[in-house]
Structure 1
Amino acid sequence: ASAATSLPEVRKPSLAIDLIVDGKRVTLPDTEPYIDDAGNTMVPIRFVSEKLGADVKWDNANQIVTIIHKGNTIVMPVGSKKVTVNGSEITLDTMAIKKEGRVVVPLRFVSETLNAEVKWDGAWSAVNIVSPEYQEKVNAGSVTLDKWGRELRANQNSKKWILMSDTPDNVYEIKKYKIYHIDGEQVAKEFGQGFHKDELDRIVRNVKEYYKLALNIDYRTINYSTYYNSSFKLLGHNGYMNPEPFQEFVSYIKKNKVIVEGYAYPDPTTIYSYYGTPFIRTKFKFRVLSATDYNQFNADSYKPGDKSEKVTWVKPGQWYETYSDVSLFSNSQDFRATLKIGSTANMFTKGAYRHKELK
């Protein structure tokens, strides 16, 4: 494959925002939630509204989106701050816009107009939307939520994992791999109990921040010093990182004309320790927009060796969802409060990840 002839504009990387709707963590097929300059969380309107049981109609000729839900009608023209709710016009501090072919709208306005409660958890960068009907189930005890507002499966029949209703079985079946070969295993059900929510939030945020860097690379703007210094802050180490591999990597990115966009969504319920290494199972979402060699587009796929698989299935511009374990490291006695990313190669460990195209 050759580099794209029509390159996208330079993008500002976004931190992954977990979107939880009625207890389920949502995977979007393309455009992700983001925070605009006014501080509004913007989301693709169709997916959120339909998850809440609304009917969404798009008038392409007039560039108007209409949401119908339980007798309420919201009409939002793209590019206008004036919208109508049941025939009454109101003015927003932001507007519906088109982004990559999707209509994105301010989340709080639409959700509250659809009579859903919206909560923002900045500690791990997540939005939780709960409909009144779902809240009734929670109050009645017919569903159980974890600390992050996600629904647990009713049948917790695993000895190792806390099973979430939004996670497929094959994710829990991903093979574990050894790094240090000491201390045996502490499974997620046991290991995670030693952490407070704020400690797990910090670990999740660290993984998100690192992959905001490592999965949002543009050969036109990448700078070795910035990339190395940012990696130094986000990776766990003993106080020193050899700069040469980072210099080589940045040079390769420029030579290979890489433009990649992506996000990481660690699951705090899946943190475990395996033969001396803590891991957290993580969902990734990414697409490669430009490259001379699409097999090597970030540090995880660069120079695959004995442990890493050569990524031969990547297609230009296609969004992918992958799951794998991210290793963690700390040399501090304050172990739980200082764990950070432990390796730059987590996504494509041989036999220890899942991937699929998003549609």
Structure 2
Amino acid sequence: MKKISALFLSLFLLASVFSSVHAAEKSLTVWLNGEQIQFNKSEPLVEKGVTLVPMRPLLEKLEVKVNWNEATRTASGTKEGLSLSLQIGNTNATANGKTVKLDAAPKQISNVTYVPLRFIAETTGYKVAWDSSLRQVALTSEQQAEGSRGFLWKVENKGNTVYLLGSIHVAKEKMYPLRQEIEDAFEAADYLGVEIDLSTIDPQQAQKLVLDLGAYKDGTQLKDHISAETYAKVTAFLKANDYPETSFDNFKPWLITQNISNIQAAKAGYQTEIGIDMYLIQNANKVKKPILSLESIESQLQMFNNFSDPLQEKLLLQTLEPASEDTPAPGEGLDLLTKMWIEGDDAVLAELTKASAWDDEYYKGMLSDRNEGMVEHIKSYLNSDKKETYMVVVGALHMLGDHGVVTLLEKEGFTLARQ
């Protein structure tokens, strides 16, 4: 496996407290087996609860040959073993010669034909799933319908149950849907436990905390704390990304590292707003499920601030390291981590966890110390007399290894079952 920088491994370890958790409403998107369907300038729309999409891009993506009869204003499609037909303004359609009642009639808007998505998808053999928090419709074939596997364990004690899910804090839409066992665990839980409940954080307060710890206040600047070579790489990065070369001069290396990670993740198409933990937080808020925070924004920021100057510079240099045969580009590195999560690959997760021990100070701060604190919370849930169910969601790299949450709980005498 290629070497993935500690920066991107941290996306499995830390809630994203470095960017706003309040995003504007997303446009509705349609995904086919994890790949977004592009509708060009014509966007999908929802009318009276029915999703309508531009017909031709959808059918062509489904490899259905499209025909249009202007005289009858009828669209038809054919594929091996399949035929369908829809008429503008008519709620009756045909599928393989049989009449089907549509939820809404096809219509034309600016010469673009819109058709009910569910009819097309189900007629062509795809399952349809709507996620309101992501504003996403996912079409999945039978072989894709299982959903992302992730890393899920179950542990029981004294009538209490904890489902333990290893998360990734940034995501692409292709990571959804999650497999049913994860959704069932969430549904069964009386409480959702996360590193930090990001939905309760005031962005302005968070920004103040970040700057209070991450900015120099003694009159020195970044170049006074790192080598000239590293500083030159920072300014080169800023210039390449159309930022003023002095943008980071007043900030400590750890804060710059996190800012660069956000820039690189965003350029690769990853979003904190749809990270696995954020997805579950949003769903918990919808059903008024209580959310418990295992850590705080202050503790996570203080951890970074406590890193020694040499370690902070090492992390910054890793962030700026150019792609090579051994080191993937940022987007490729995130794609490798995402693939691991989608497949629920324990062997790769164990390998990455081991790789996180490249520096004792880093490993202690990012993993072992925090894991011990998380385990104390989980033990309190399991030893309670209330007989309740919890779903605890923390970064995936906290799970395995000699100091992993799973290992520490097993050492305490609990039995965990991989789900």
Larger RCO (alpha carbons 8 Å, 6+ apart): 2
* More strand, by proportion: 1
Q: Report the TM-score when normalising by structure 1.
A: 0.39
* More helix, by proportion: 2
